[in-house]
């Protein structure tokens, strides 16, 4: 195998960490936004409050609540967390692939 072919295989095997970060950010952000607003639209089950379980995220994400404003705040938190996790996955993968024989 030639040197050019080896370099090409390594380049193809690498991930774009920024793209993984943005993808993770959008998945988590839109997911939390949609889950919160769907819960608001559906309404509570008889004898319960709206989003009792989802509302527990407020302990970890200050300012988040099961409301439209809370869904916007949650979107920002989830976007940042998703970006960090996605970027970390891409970076770790690239470091593992860097020394892998082609």
Question: pTM value?
Answer: 0.82
What pLDDT shows up at residue 22? 97
Residue 3 has a pLDDT of 78
> Which sequence spans correspond to the domains of the chain?
17-44+51-98
Could you read off the pLDDT of 45-94 as tens digits, one per residue? 777 777 888 989 999 999 999 999 999 999 999 999 999 999 999 999 88
Residues whose CB is less than 8 angstroms from the CB of residue 90 and which lie 6 or more positions away in sequence, other chains included: 15, 16, 17, 18, 19, 20, 21
Q: Which of 7, 61, 47, 101 is nearest to 69 (CA)?
A: 61
Specify whether the CB–CB gap between 45 and 98 falls below 8 A. Answer: no
Helix segments in 1-102, DSSP class H: 3-13, 17-42, 68-98
Across 92-101, average pLDDT:
79
């Amino acid at each position: 195998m030639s040197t050019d072919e080896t370099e090409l295989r390594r380049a193809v095997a690498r991930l774009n960490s920024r793209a993984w970060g943005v993808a993770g950010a959008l998945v988590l952000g839109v997911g939390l936004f949609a889950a919160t607003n769907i819960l608001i639209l559906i309404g509570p089950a008889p004898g319960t409050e709206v989003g009792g379980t989802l509302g527990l995220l407020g302990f970890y994400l200050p300012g988040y609540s099961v409301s439209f404003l809370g869904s916007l705040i949650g979107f920002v938190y989830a976007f940042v967390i998703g970006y960090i996790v996605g970027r970390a996955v891409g970076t770790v993968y690239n470091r593992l692939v860097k020394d892998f024989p082609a």
